[in-house]
Amino acid sequence: MPPGDRQLGLAVVLRKGPRSVETGNQDGDSPHRRDCRFARPGRACAPDPAALRSAAGRDSGRPPCPGARLPASRRLAGQLDLGRNTVIAVFERLAADGFVEARGAAGTVVARIDSALLLRHRAQKPATGALSARGAALAAIDRGTGDKSGPFVPGLPALDLFPGDLWARLVARRLRQSSAALLGFGHAQGWPPLREAIARHLADSRGIVADPATVVITTGAQGALDFVARLLCDVGDPVWIEDPGYLGARGAFTAAGLRLVPVPVDEEGLRVDDATAREARPRLVYVTPSHQYPTGVAMSLPRRLALLAAAEAAGAWVIEDDYDSEFRFDGPPLAPLHNLDSGGRVIYIGTLGKALAPALRVGFALLPQPLAAQAAIALRHTGQAPPPLIQATLADFIADGHFAAHLRKLKPIYAERRAALIEACGRSLGGLGSIMRAEAGIQVALRLHRLDDRAAAAAAAGAGIVAPALSRAAIGPSAPSGLQLGFAAVDVAAIEAGVARLAGVLRDLDARATRPG
């Protein structure tokens, strides 16, 4: 209840049902009959605002009566059919809030508070909640699929294949140990055994030699982006970002107040020459070289080397987001940009959620050695780390070999689902669209040959299909018209049915667009 209503109710007698009580002020004035109801379930209650306004004379402009004595708690409890302890608890709460004063044998009286101030406060309009320019820019970035379900949600793993029983046993084992480290705040840089497990995983899967002391655990890859941007950049610093590109990165850099420099992407990845022409000295560069988001193209070796040379010349840091690198279906594995970096400029980030479950919210950043010690100190102030229990359980999951086994189980299933999606699109879509080449990841991009992708995405959503428009991920006009289609969380039968439904939606849209008149 607003403070004004509570103040207005202090001089009234509380009423329950048809019964009421009368009180007067200390100077012997004639009593005033004023209404209030205990509305809170349980032992105590709060006065009803409408009754208080009427009873206290707010509608007629009369202020409440400072100094007015409240009834004795025993008498009031009897008249209201309440326990005396309930009434005493209410009086004590009002006294603690400063609305009444307990005067021992003299009873409890209404405190002397300037009621005009409270009434004026009630009359004021609520705050509009206007955002800062940075907040408004952040709110305008629509990622669109976070809380949606249905066929083809991009970036969603097969949650039905998550080893829930095994995970529960590992959690229970950790809880039985219940060490202080798990129940406290945890290590700012992340649970040390998890950092060691991630370093071993990177060595085995990506050929990255990493010192666990340089690994930082974050709340997903998004947390890594946010932390790195704030650690290394000042407001207004320029950052190269792929266009179209990952909306989460755009959001993190916008939140940090950075100046976005969108760089077009072609079949070889980020166009470095265009980037240097637009901004020669970026502070930060963000790329997804192994599997560009959202187009799926891989950055060629000449482009990778050119990017590293440009970053070295500008003194810029490079964030390599190696998302979905566990799932590669065509061609040999590509060496991470990190392994080509001789100048210590690349910060490698990733997440384990895309292989397990996004709800775990466990990501990491592999920092160059000179940054690691300073980052550990800075992390104490950001609250970025996931709960220690989740970190410890995940460390056990990796160390015991379960993570590698889970990946081995998922890869053939995802390969089958990917092949089914590509084949169904080729069979059902005809000249409406075609799958863009993508050798890795758990989603593909469908290029639309004639249709506007935002109109197509909206029409698909109306049919219960989540297929975000590629242009939604673009800042400039360079993005191809197309849709993102995730396949990992959809079985083959649902993929075929979903593509058939999508094809019907696109055909109807195309027919309306080409209809004369």
Between the CA of residue 338 and those of 163, 235, 258, 312, 360, what are the distances in Å?
A: 31, 26, 24, 13, 26
- pLDDT, one tens digit per residue, over 505-515 is 999 999 887 77
- pLDDT, one tens digit per residue, over 202-243 is 999 899 999 999 999 999 999 999 999 999 999 999 999 999
Nearest Cα residue to 198 out of 341, 334, 350: 350
- Choose between 81 and 192: higher pLDDT: 192
Q: What is the pTM of this model?
A: 0.78
d(CA 352, CA 354): 6
* Backbone φ, ψ for residue 350 (5° rounding): -165, 180
Q: Are 438 and 291 in contact (CB under 8 A)?
A: yes
- pLDDT, one tens digit per residue, over 257-279 is 999 999 999 999 999 999 999 99
End-to-end CA distance of the chain: 59
Q: What does the DSSP 8-state code read for residue 97?
A: T
- Residue 39, pLDDT > 50, answer no
Q: What does the DSSP 8-state code read for residue 154?
A: T
- pLDDT, one tens digit per residue, over 403-447 is 999 999 999 999 999 999 999 999 999 889 999 987 889 999 999
Nearest Cα residue to 379 out of 365, 392, 395: 365
Task: Extract the tokens encoding 88.
Answer: 């005493």
Q: Are 409 and 199 in contact (CB under 8 A)?
A: no
Q: Is 480 helix (H, G, I), strand (E, B) or coil?
A: coil
Class of domain 3-123: mainly alpha
**Which pLDDT band, with edges at 50, 70 and 90, does 53 fall under?**
very low
- Residue 52, pLDDT > 70, answer no
Between the CA of residue 220 and those of 196, 315, 349, 376, what are the distances in Å?
A: 17, 27, 9, 17
Query: Residues of CATH 1.10.10.10 domain(s) within the chain?
Result: 3-123
Task: Extract the tokens encoding 216.
Answer: 């930082």
Q: Are 354 and 442 in contact (CB under 8 A)?
A: yes
The pLDDT, as a whole number, for residue 245 is 94
**Which pLDDT band, with edges at 50, 70 and 90, does 126 fall under?**
low
Nearest Cα residue to 490 out of 147, 146, 145, 149: 149
Q: Does the domain at residues 405-514 carry the CATH identifier 3.90.1150.10?
A: yes
- pLDDT, one tens digit per residue, over 162-175 is 999 999 999 999 98
Out of 2-16, 91-105, 237-251, 363-377, least confident range:
2-16
Range list of β-strands (E), 208-253: 215-218, 238-243
- Residue 112, pLDDT > 60, answer yes
Query: Residues of CATH 3.90.1150.10 domain(s) within the chain?
Result: 405-514
